[in-house]
Chains A and B, each alone.
Chain A
Amino acid sequence: MVHYIWMFLLGAGIITAMFNGRMEEVSEALFKGAEDAVTLCFGLVSIMVFWLGIMNVARNSGLLDQFTTWLRPAVVRLFPDIPPDHPAMGYILSNMTANLMGLGNAATPMGIKAVKEMKKLNDDRDEASRSMITFMALNTAGLTLIPTTVIAVRMNYGSSEPAEIVGAAILATGCSTACALVIDRFFHLRRTRKGKG
């Protein structure tokens, strides 16, 4: 899917330029874009090093585990099909903690393990269970406290207050998460009705 988008952006851009005579701008944009991307990545180094460093302190001191135990009571309610002491619940909690703290790379392996455990609970069938869909809804809604990458990009483009969108992002992510959970419950209800009818 990403391949098609990438090829479309380049292809459509070059074809459009053929017709409205903007080939010079396009040629300039190619090299400017590549240069911007590299500058941006080096701009990301500062924030990423800082943030992952701090999060490693939090992990070593046990603060992340502490955070996970605070999340537990709420999360257990979201997954009524999973026994609270099942390994799946542990992985779900670790995944959510990592996502909340903006540690996307740490979240992915935990998420995969969580889905594998949920598959075992689902008698190893190759269809998605109710819990899996809820888990997916939570993950795609992207519940995050600190959008570190966004702050770094804003810094890079000279924002006078790079962190000013943190509050808005927390509110927006809260809304999309709440909506995801409601939509998930709605679809679940629809499935069970169909099953009975």
Chain B
Amino acid sequence: MGWMNTVSIWVVPMLLFAVILHAAVKRVPAYDAFVEGGKDGFQMAVSLIPYLVGMLTAVSVFRASGAMDLLVQAIAPVLALAGVPAEIAPLAMIRPISGTGALGMMSSLLNEYGPDSFIGRLASTMQGSTDTTLYVITIYFGAAGVKHIGDALKVGLAADAAGVAASVFIVSMIFL
């Protein structure tokens, strides 16, 4: 699966090249636009601090107390049947519910097992490949005043389950 690695490494620089090339052709003052947009990036990262402090302390306490091990041991036999490593299960459970919760859980996994381990890669792929279902449903439907959401939650959660399964399969194929 060497080509997959090449794709991963090339995709960001190539996208960057396309953006710069397009800006050059359209004669847009690219550097000014870059700096202007970058200011929002700083704001975004800093505004995340209280959310992430809250979540990461909670996840750290849960892990350090041994409660995480109890949870993982309890669900391991079921997940072993499907070939899913149990360490990843808490992330899969929190992913559809809370975006920062999942970010905290993923960081804690990368810290514990290392970003280049199988668990680390799997956690990264899972975090990067689905969105927070509950957030999307409450924000979008709530703001638009839609009260009866029909099958939206069922479809969303089923898609999340599919995303987890796909991540496990793909990461096993590429990196094992």
Contacts and interface: CB of A to CB of B under 8 A. Distances in A.
Please say whether chains A and B are actual partners in one complex. Answer: yes
A30 B144 CA distance: 39
Interface string A130-162: 001101110111101111011001101111111
Nearest to B52: A37
- Size class of the B contact interface (CB-based, 8 Å): 35 or more
A44 B140 CA distance: 26
Interface string B140-164: 1101111111111011101110110
Contact of A128 (B53, B101, B132, B149): B149
Contacts of B96: 140
Contacts of A161: 8-9, 116
Given A44-B45, A112-B144, A37 B34 contact: no
Contacts of B37: 52-57, 59
B4 A167 contact: yes
Interface string A21-57: 0100110111011101110111011011111111111
Contacts of A40: 52, 56, 107
A33 B42 CA distance: 22
A22 B64 contact: yes
B37 to A, nearest CB: 2
Given A45-B41, A157-B110, A172-B163, A22 B49 contact: no
A180 interface: yes
A61 B28 contact: yes
Contact of A116 (B22, B59, B144): B144
A171 B139 contact: no
A54 to B, nearest CB: 6
Given A61-B22, A128-B152, A150-B106, A165 B128 contact: yes
Interface of A: 1-2, 5-6, 9-10, 12-17, 20, 22, 25-26, 28-30, 32-34, 36-38, 40-42, 44-45, 47-63, 66, 99, 105, 108, 111-112, 115-116, 118-119, 126-128, 132-133, 135-137, 139-142, 144-147, 149-150, 153-154, 156-173, 175-177, 179-180, 183-184, 187, 191
